[in-house]
Structures are given as structure tokens and as C-alpha cells.
Amino acid sequence: MSCLSMKSLLFLLSIPCLCSGQPLPLALRFSTFLDAAKVFHLHWDHDENEVMTFELRVRTTGWVAFGFSLHGKITGSDIMIGGVHPDGSTYFSDWHGVNEKTIEEDESQDYELLSLTEDKTYTTVQFRRYLRTCDPNDLDITIDTQRLIFAFGIDDTVQFFKGQRMVKSLFLMLVQSPDGYKQPSVSLEYDLKLNDFAVPVDETTYACTFIPLPIVKTKHHIYKFGPIITPRNISLVHHILVYACGNHSVLPSGVSDCYGADPDFALCSQVLVGWAIGGGSYQFPDETGISVGTPLDPKYIRLEVHYSNFDLIPGLIDNSGIRLYYTPELRPYDMGVLQTGVFTFPVHFIPPGADDYKSYGLCNSSQFDEVNGAPVPDLHVFGYLLHTHLAGRGVKTVQYRNGEQVRFICEDRMYDFTLQETRDLKNEIIIKPGDEILVECSFQTLDRTGITFGGPSTLNEMCLSFLFYYPRNNISSCMGYPDIQYIAQQLGQEASDPMEGMMAVNMVDWDNDTVKSAEKAAKDADQIVVIKTIDVSNFFWSGQDNPTGGARAPGLGLAAAGPEAVTLWSTSATTRPSGSNQKA
Ligand SMILES: *[C@@H]1O[C@H](CO)[C@@H](O)[C@H](O)[C@H]1NC(C)=O
Ligand SMILES: *[C@@H]1O[C@H](CO)[C@@H](O)[C@H](O)[C@H]1NC(C)=O
Ligand SMILES: *[C@@H]1O[C@H](CO)[C@@H](O)[C@H](O)[C@H]1NC(C)=O
Ligand SMILES: *[C@@H]1O[C@H](CO)[C@@H](O)[C@H](O)[C@H]1NC(C)=O
Ligand SMILES: *[C@@H]1O[C@H](CO)[C@@H](O)[C@H](O)[C@H]1NC(C)=O
């Protein structure tokens, strides 16, 4: 993808600027309110010419601003500012942030105005730009989570720093809108939600509860999920995740902190769907759905609702959750979820004071047929959900075949913990049994003084990439972790077994050099690969979050819970794909 300037865009297609009257009728597939107060409404779409078109409607008759920022900062940001004067004349131009107190108009104007109109209530501006312009003062629109920056004033004297200004994470490179899919003629609805939950007076709450899936006598397919947000509470509910549980007989009842004192509230780790503030409904491709009503299917889910009660408002009662849509009209294939990444427990660690520390987890799928109990058909992957906790800054999932890199399956270099959502791949991809899947996560721990270990709490870390695929097989997860003894030895510590290895990394004097050495050792180390199945009697849908039922590496003195359900083996550093630094 090369950068392109506005001049070539103008050659491509020229739309005359409509600078009065009604906005142009544009068919833009995606839309969302950018803020909880619904002042900013954004429509957008992108095309094969790498052009993104926007329509921004703002509840003001003053100036409006919209653009891109690196980390929510003004320094280095790329902003368009426009409006309609009381006499009907318009202004519109491309700016950039010089520092936190100054913005400057760009010499190269790379936002093309399509229309700019105003009525008594709203200012509506339609414009477009290339994903990558040639101007170093602009920011690229990428497949990463974007940090949008937007502002408005109440009159047409542009005072950017005096206006109301907000920042929001949004993923713009959506590929499918739910309207693009077939709707079944029979559709049933079922709500997975909290009932009159008293939201604590805390900035952040992760409320978890276990809910049965719909009980049906015959097989049905869940084909769609949509948010149910208690009206007016939109700013309170930050994100929602739904995880599948296996046939687990002892799930706790009630609602509790997902990652608090009772570890059972973190059971069931197989993500089925993720929704984040600003998101809409999500529908699976026409070929596939989640099977319910057969013995192999999950019976329960864990609902995790993340609340942000930043204003510490007491007495809030909430009934939010996810509505699922299911149908007896079966699709050709059952959907499966393959969890890949770093095996969380017990050896994943991230040193403190790291600006960008990378962890690697390898899935070697050459044992899939054996673990599955029957030949595994090719996995048709259509979507993904990336997951780390608060220190995560990026996740990348790379596919290898016969030691050669095949492709980046998915990547987000601007990961935002608060925007965990199911995303579609642009094109379905095939994973063949025998392929390797390497997940690389970047973490930032500059604000931490101690080691961050892998674990279910939000202050512990995870590095996961959930791949949504069809047709379903028996395998639920395939993850890897580096040989901790090797890492400890590379750091100059003695370790005769993995447990000593874990204790040894706590003895290291962390500075930027030892952080780099640890990262290199973790990258070079052999990986121990753990494959788990959806074992209905052994509830292997719960996974690495479960400290009592998950798999253990040999040598730690802990037994694997089910002999058929878990396979462990090492891969050697010499045959392992060497990182993922070159793009396919
Ligand atoms: C959330 O909704 C309830 C009504 O269900 C309302 O009483 C409460 O004030 C709302 N909270 C916010 C922050 O709007
Ligand atoms: C679920 O577990 C119960 C108790 O262990 C068992 O009786 C039942 O057959 C299991 N169901 C399936 C579908 O395996
Ligand atoms: C799952 O495993 C069983 C054996 O335990 C096997 O008969 C069945 O074919 C497998 N299912 C799939 C979809 O591969
Ligand atoms: C590494 O360098 C950065 C920037 O100089 C610093 O903020 C950080 O604390 C250092 N990390 C460690 C572990 O010393
Ligand atoms: C994956 O496992 C197979 C069989 O154990 C082995 O031959 C192959 O080298 C492994 N791949 C990597 C990258 O280690």
C-alpha cells in the first residue's frame, strides 16, 4: 500500500462540493455515535481504492473537528476542522498537532470536502481521504484500532483548545455490516443479561454471572449477537464478553467480581462474542452458526460486563447484556473457536519497566488429528478476537506452513483493552492441520515495579488470539509457552526445574538490558505446546483461566486433568519459525 495524494484522488472521481442545502446522499455502511451524549454521529466506509469516506454530523452550529491521534494526544495528531458561517459561507481544512498547546494548518491539504451543511441543530460535513496520504503531517488509517480525536465549538470562531474535546478508540476497517447477511425466516431471541445489578461505586467493575443457553429439543444455530444496554446507561457499560462453558457441573451462582476472591467466577474462557461501547450487533457468515441443542454443545455461558462508573454515581441499577438470535434453519457448518496464544498459567511473565516487551506463544497443530480423535478438516477462519489485559499494546497472529510464513492472520498494533470486539477477516483464510500459529503480544509496563505474571486478574496478563472458524472440531485451544529454565539460565540464574525458573526470574535485577535479554531468551526458547479439547465430560471449555482444571507442564508436580484432553510436547528452537518480523 503506497501513499497517495489528493491530486490523484481528484483524477479518480470528481464530485462537486455541495456547500449549502442538504448533505449528499452517500451510502456509507458503518456508523456509530462517538460519544455517550450523542453529540457526534459518524458514518464511514472504505473502498478498494484505499479511500475512506466520512460523514460527521455534530449537534452544533459552530465549528467541528475530527481526526486521528497516536495515543489520544494532540501532539502528532491529524485533524480536519470545518464549519458553516452564519452567512452561509464555509471553511474546511487539514491541520496537525504540533504540541499539546498548538495546532497548525497543513501545507498539503489531504482531506477532500464533499459537502458541508448546517441546519438549526446540526453541522454535517462529508469528506474523504486516502488511507495513507503522502503528507508526514497526516496519520495513516490502518487495520489497527484508531484513536479518534474530535471536538466542537458553539460558534464559528475556531478555538480548538477551548472547545469540547474527546478521544475514542474505534476500529474503522470493518468489512461486513450485519445488513449484508441473510436473515433466516424463523428467528428466536434469548437474553443473556444481568437482572437489576447494583453497580458498585467503583471506577471499574467486572461483573460475572453464569447463564444457561436456550434449551432446545432439536439442534439450532445461534447466528447473531446484539447488545442490550439499559437506556441512558450507555456510558456506564464499557464492554461485554460472552464465554462458553463446558459440561461443568459446579458453576457458581449469583453475580460476582470476575477476577476477584472467588476464582470460579473466572471459569469458562472460550470467547463466543465480544461487544464494546459504540459497537453494534455481530452476525456470523451465512455458512455457519454456533450449535445448541446437541450433546456436544455448551450448556452455559459466562457473561462478563465491564462497568466504568468514573463519576462514582451511587445507586445505579443495570440490566445490560447480550441478546442472542437463534434459528432452527441450520446453516451448513457448526462454528468453532480456536484459542491460540501464550499458555497463561503458570510461566508467562513480563518484566517491569518495559516500554515494549514481546511475548510469544506457538501452536503447532501437527498433532491435531491425534488429539481430535478423527482427522481434522481444514479450518476456515472468518473472524477473530484479540485479548490481553491492561498492559497489552499489540497482538499479532501469524501462520506458518512447513517453516515458511504464510500470512499475518490478524494484527492490531494499537490494541485497546476496552475495545475487545469480534472482528471479521477481510477474506476467509484456511488453516491446515500441521500449520503453526504464532501469537506475539506487546506489553508496556513502565508504570509497574514488580513482575507481571500471567493470570486471570486484570493486573495479571494474557496474550490470546481467538480464531472463529468452521467446521467445528474437538479442539478448543492450542497454546504454547517458552521453556522457563532456559530463560532463567540466559538471565544468569540457576534453575533445575520450571518452578525454580519462575522463582529465579523474580531475582533478576531489571533494567533495560535485562528486559531485552529476557525477551530474546523467551523468543529463542523451545516452546511447550498445549492442546486441549472440548471434552464434554472433562469440561475443557474452561481452559487456562481455571487453576484447578487446566493443563500443567510436566515437571511442575501437577497432573494434567484428563489424559485425552491435553497433549504436551516441546518443539526445538532450530525448527521453530524465527519470529514474525517480516511481512508476508
Ligand atoms: C441507568 O439506568 C437507570 C434506569 O434503568 C437509571 O436509573 C440510571 O440513572 C441510569 N444511569 C445513568 C448513568 O444514566
Ligand atoms: C454432563 O455431565 C454429567 C455429569 O458428569 C453427565 O451425566 C452427562 O452425561 C454429561 N453430559 C454430556 C453431554 O456429556
Ligand atoms: C470428536 O472426537 C470423537 C472421538 O472422541 C470423534 O469420534 C469425532 O469425530 C470428533 N469430532 C470431530 C468434529 O472431529
Ligand atoms: C528503560 O528505559 C526507560 C526510558 O529511559 C525508563 O523509563 C524505564 O524505567 C527503563 N526500564 C527499566 C526496567 O529500567
Ligand atoms: C511441529 O511438530 C512436528 C511434529 O512433532 C515437528 O516435526 C515440527 O518440527 C514442529 N514444528 C515446529 C515449528 O516446531
pLDDT in tens, 324-342: 999 999 999 999 999 999 9
Short-list 386, 465, 460, CA closest to 418? 386
CA distances, 1 to each of 51, 108, 174 (Å) = 12, 20, 18
- Report the range of poorest mean pLDDT among 127-131, 196-200, 570-574: 570-574
The confidence band for 8, taking pLDDT boundaries of 50, 70 and 90, is low
- In tens, the pLDDT along 445-480 reads 999 999 999 887 777 899 999 999 999 998 988 999
**Residue 225: strand pairing partners:** 282, 324
Ligand 1 contact, 233 CB (< 6 A): yes
Query: Is the pLDDT score of 52 beyond 70?
Result: yes
Contact 495, 484 (CB under 8 A): yes
Ligand 1 contact, 317 CB (< 6 A): yes
Q: What's residue 5's pLDDT? A: 64
* Residue ranges of domains in the chain, CATH in brackets: 3-174 (2.60.40.1210), 188-581 (2.60.120.230)
Ligand 1 contact, 196 CB (< 6 A): no
Q: According to the 3-state scheme, what is the secondary structure of 74-142? A: CCCCEEEEEEECCCCCEEEEEEEEEECCEEEECCCCCCEEEEEEECCCCEEEEEEEECCCCCCCCCCCC
Query: Is the pLDDT score of 573 beyond 50?
Result: no
Amino acid at 166: M
Ligand nearest to the CA of 403: 5
CA distance 168 to 419: 10
Cα 270 to its chain centre, rounded Å, is: 14
Which of 206, 357, 384, 481 is flagged as catalytic? 206
Task: Give residue 456 CA to ligand 4 midpoint distance, Å.
Answer: 26
Q: What's residue 20's pLDDT? A: 55
- In tens, the pLDDT along 295-309 reads 888 889 999 998 888
- Report the range of poorest mean pLDDT among 255-264, 402-411, 466-475: 255-264
Ligand 3 contact, 270 CB (< 6 A): no
Angle at 270 between CA 294 and CA 256, to 5 degrees: 105
- Report the range of poorest mean pLDDT among 117-121, 240-244, 568-572: 568-572
Pocket of ligand 4 (CB under 6 A): 353, 446, 510-512, 515
Pocket test for ligand 4, best of 349, 350, 355, 356 (most atoms within 8 A of CB): 355
Task: Give residue 458 CA to ligand 1 midpoint distance, Å.
Answer: 26
CA distance 497 to 563: 22
Ligand 5 contact, 424 CB (< 6 A): no
Q: How many CB atoms lie within 10 A of CB 558?
A: 15
Buried residues in 469-479 as b, exposed as e (16+ CB within 10 A): bbbbbbbbbbb
CA distance 300 to 304: 13
User: Mean pLDDT over residues 499-516, rounded?
Assistant: 92
- Report the range of poorest mean pLDDT among 6-10, 157-161, 378-382: 6-10
Element (H, E) at 503: helix 498-505
Task: Give residue 33 CA to ligand 1 midpoint distance, Å.
Answer: 19
Radius of gyration for the chain, computed over Cα atoms and rounded to the nearest angstrom: 25
Question: Which residues, in sequence order, are CB contacts of 503 under 8 Å at separation 6+?
Answer: 495
Short-list 332, 335, 353, 376, CA closest to 478? 376
More confident residue, 303 or 553: 303
Which of 96, 248, 306, 387 is flagged as catalytic? 387
Q: Which atom of ligand 2 is nearest to the CA of 537?
A: 14
Question: Which residues, in sequence order, are CB contacts of 361 under 8 Å at separation 6+?
Answer: 340, 341, 342, 343, 438, 439, 463, 479, 480, 481, 527
- What is the SS3 assignment for 516? helix
Ligand 1 contact, 15 CB (< 6 A): no
Question: Which residues, in sequence order, are CB contacts of 473 under 8 Å at separation 6+?
Answer: 336, 368, 372, 376, 377, 379
DSSP state of 366: G
Residue nearest to ligand 3 atom 12, measured at CA: 473
Ligand 5 contact, 575 CB (< 6 A): yes
Short-list 274, 249, 259, 245, CA closest to 476? 245
Ligand nearest to the CA of 311: 1
Query: Is the pLDDT score of 578 beyond 90?
Result: no
The confidence band for 547, taking pLDDT boundaries of 50, 70 and 90, is very low
Active site annotation includes 43: no
Contact 175, 27 (CB under 8 A): no
Task: Give residue 327 CA to ligand 3 midpoint distance, Å.
Answer: 24
Q: Is 203 left (phi over 0), alpha (psi -120 to 50) or beta?
A: alpha
Query: Is the pLDDT score of 581 beyond 70?
Result: no
Q: What's residue 566's pLDDT? A: 39
Q: What's residue 6's pLDDT? A: 59
Active site annotation includes 206: yes
CA distance 275 to 282: 8
DSSP state of 510: -
CA distance 534 to 541: 5
Q: What's residue 471's pLDDT? A: 97
Task: Give residue 530 CA to ligand 3 midpoint distance, Å.
Answer: 19
Average pLDDT, the chain: 85
Residue nearest to ligand 4 atom 11, measured at CA: 353
Ligand 1 contact, 237 CB (< 6 A): no
Ligand nearest to the CA of 194: 1
User: Mean pLDDT over residues 5-22, rounded?
Assistant: 54
Q: What's residue 256's pLDDT? A: 93
Farthest-apart Cα atoms in the chain, separation:
80
Q: What's residue 19's pLDDT? A: 52
- In tens, the pLDDT along 223-249 reads 999 989 887 655 788 789 998 887 666
User: Mean pLDDT over residues 67-96, rounded?
Assistant: 95
Task: Give residue 474 CA to ligand 5 midpoint distance, Å.
Answer: 21
Ligand 2 contact, 249 CB (< 6 A): yes
CA distance 386 to 268: 17
Task: Give residue 290 CA to ligand 2 midpoint distance, Å.
Answer: 20
Short-list 328, 291, 327, 322, CA closest to 470? 291
First to last CA, the chain: 13
Buried residues in 64-92 as b, exposed as e (16+ CB within 10 A): bbbbbbeeeebeebbbbbbbbeeeeebeb
Q: Which atom of ligand 5 is nearest to the CA of 434?
A: 1
Question: Which residues, in sequence order, are CB contacts of 183 under 8 Å at separation 6+?
Answer: none
Q: What's residue 417's pLDDT? A: 85
Q: What's residue 448's pLDDT? A: 95
- Length of the chain equals 584
Task: 550-557: list long-range contacts, CB under 8 Å, 24+ apart.
Answer: 550/345, 551/343, 552/346, 553/347, 553/481, 553/498, 553/528, 555/497, 555/498, 556/346, 556/497, 556/498, 556/499, 557/499
**Three cell numbers, residue 252:** 457458581
Query: Is the pLDDT score of 81 beyond 60?
Result: yes
**Residue 130: strand pairing partners:** 51
